[in-house]
Amino acid sequence: MRAAVSDRRGVAAVEFGIMIPLLSLMVVSVTDIGLAIYRKMQVENAAQAGAQYAIARGFDASGISNAVTSATNSTAITASPGPVQFCGCPTNAGVSAVSCGAVCTGGAQAGTYATVSAQATYYTLINYQIVAATYSYSAQSTARLQ
């Protein structure tokens, strides 16, 4: 009996067997977080690509929507809500919508702007039970056209 108690062979294998599920969960969780952040960056880049398209080629709702969906290799990204063209004046808080032809503060003519939106949903790799299984990301980019 004394020999069995002092025998240390196989201890490393038992410890490895106990630790491998925890290490595997950590690897999957870190990968899941990375993929979620990557999806968020894809959505932001898609909205910016749509705004860049509008700057370069003018306002074309279908062309902008195609630029948004084609900006990444993800099929989950949509241009929703659709792109919007409006007239506005720049302010400290952003762009305030005004009627076209209006004169802004400072005497400048109101400019033409386009707002492009993109959105996608990320589904986690496994159900963690303590956090949500889906995350919805959306981004919006506004650019002056004229």
How many angstroms separate the CA atoms of 52 and 22, rounded? 45
How many angstroms separate the CA atoms of 1 and 38, rounded? 57
Q: Is residue 36 packed enough to be buried (19+ CB in 10 Å), middle (13-18) or exposed (0-12)?
A: middle
**What digits encode the pLDDT tens for the residues 53-77?**
999 999 999 999 999 999 999 999 9
How many angstroms separate the CA atoms of 50 and 133, rounded? 29
The pTM of this model reads 0.83
pLDDT at 143 over 70: yes
How many angstroms separate the CA atoms of 88 and 95, rounded? 6
What domain range is 119 assigned to? 2-144
Eight-state DSSP code of residue 139: E
**What digits encode the pLDDT tens for the residues 88-140?**
998 888 889 999 989 998 888 999 999 999 999 999 999 998 989 999 999 99
Mean pLDDT value of segment 15-25: 92
pLDDT of residue 11: 82
Query: Domain count of the chain?
Result: 1
